[in-house]
Homo-oligomer: A and B are copies of this chain.
């Protein structure tokens, strides 16, 4: 409640809203340098926990340690939650045990679960030990669900009501409740076996007379989520059906928790980030704060895969050494065919990977999409064949060379369209993430086909 209107003005005036202000960062680091604790606390006070986490991610490890030590007791549990997973262990190691215990006790159960699931045993035990017995049990039960499941994502705190209650019952109940969750937007109606049957929004509740039955003002769209469901599917459902919160059920359909949209939004963002990085051959755990050694290790495997595919392409070229020795122009032009195929294939596969992720590419339309990609490859192939044959003729004065590159271009762009859609769909069927592996396969196909078609046709036509 501190400084709403100031913040408002400051933000409206900044062009680059929400970016950590470079000047503020310098001031904070200066306060750390001169060990001015009061100044540091004053400077950090207006920052949201998420911004403090970003700040810690952006400074180097030495500044991070000094800042956290100087900040001391003020360190908030939410900062740990917001912090990137790769830095949590380091930061927890820096915090004094009593600061850590205090910080963790403020958090909701779902945040504690999220915090400790990737930690080593020492840090995990330290945090579990700091919790009260009831909270600890709740956290441990959530941890019994598989990683990346709805059970890990949910909060245990739910407001529920028997399905036969009316508005007045619900309001009296809430008014007399000792402890309501920090965040809730619905009351979940449950049957006598504790199975959720409907959601009532607080807004509708507020607007209704006391004698109205809760069932009669329940939301039209209602989804329960099995606790074992993958968090990516959960995020998809929230986005697809505009859910704000949804009850989580166990294998007997009984209510065990609740997922809210802000957590689903974070998952959706992570899943998208994962796809973006995987498509580029970057380990999805990569972080800007990784060290050189970590980054090198994470990038190496994909480059090694690429080396193998590049060598395979070279092996194709090696079959045509005699032809290249006779007509050196072939060496000059051959990368163009391969490169165009690689790019066209990447276009198709990215569209396919994305459509699979959003469930827009299904059994109902896959063959239509395949036909479309092939047709697009053919039309663009013909367009670029015409352009390249002219380039070939003008540059090297050879009609035959122009014809060869044109034919190879058409072949490779058709193959690129086909491979770009069939490979990700096939990988998805096999249970492999198409974002992860499609790129390598598609480029191998377009490189090999590109070089083989161009050089092979050249041998037939030119020699």
Contact = CB atoms under 8 A, between A and B. Distances in A.
B18 A237 contact: yes
Contacts of A159: 203
A288 interface: yes
Interface residues of A, number: 145
B269 A59 contact: no
Most B Cβ at <10 Å: residue of A8, A236, A286: A8
Nearest to A345: B280
A144 interface: no
Contacts of A400: none
A229 B17 contact: yes
A463 interface: no
Interface stretch (A96-104, A119-127, A129-137, A378-386): A378-386
B317 A59 contact: no
A282 B347 contact: yes
A54 B359 contact: yes
Main secondary structure of the interface of A (DSSP, over half): helix
A147 interface: no
A8 B250 CA distance: 11
Contacts of A177: 207
Given A59-B364, A185-B244, A277 B354 contact: yes
A106 to B, nearest CB: 12
A261 B235 CA distance: 13
Contacts of A286: 351
Contact of A237 (B17, B313, B388): B17
Total copies of the chain: 2
Given A333-B314, A354-B277, A380-B299, A288 B360 contact: yes
A201 to B, nearest CB: 8
A454 B171 CA distance: 76
A310 B335 contact: yes
A23 B172 CA distance: 47
A194 interface: no
A364 B317 contact: no
Given A206-B175, A269-B272, A282-B347, A339 B1 contact: no
Contacts of A282: 347, 350-351
Interface in A329-380: 329-336, 338-340, 343-344, 346-347, 349-351, 354-355, 358-365, 368-369, 372, 375-376, 379-380
A376 B1 contact: no
12 contacts: A5-B253, A18-B233, A54-B359, A54-B360, A183-B203, A276-B350, A276-B354, A291-B372, A296-B383, A299-B344, A314-B332, A331-B334
Which 7 A-B pairs rank lowest in CB-CB distance, beginning with the nearest?
A280-B350, A272-B272, A331-B331, A202-B202, A22-B363, A310-B339, A310-B336
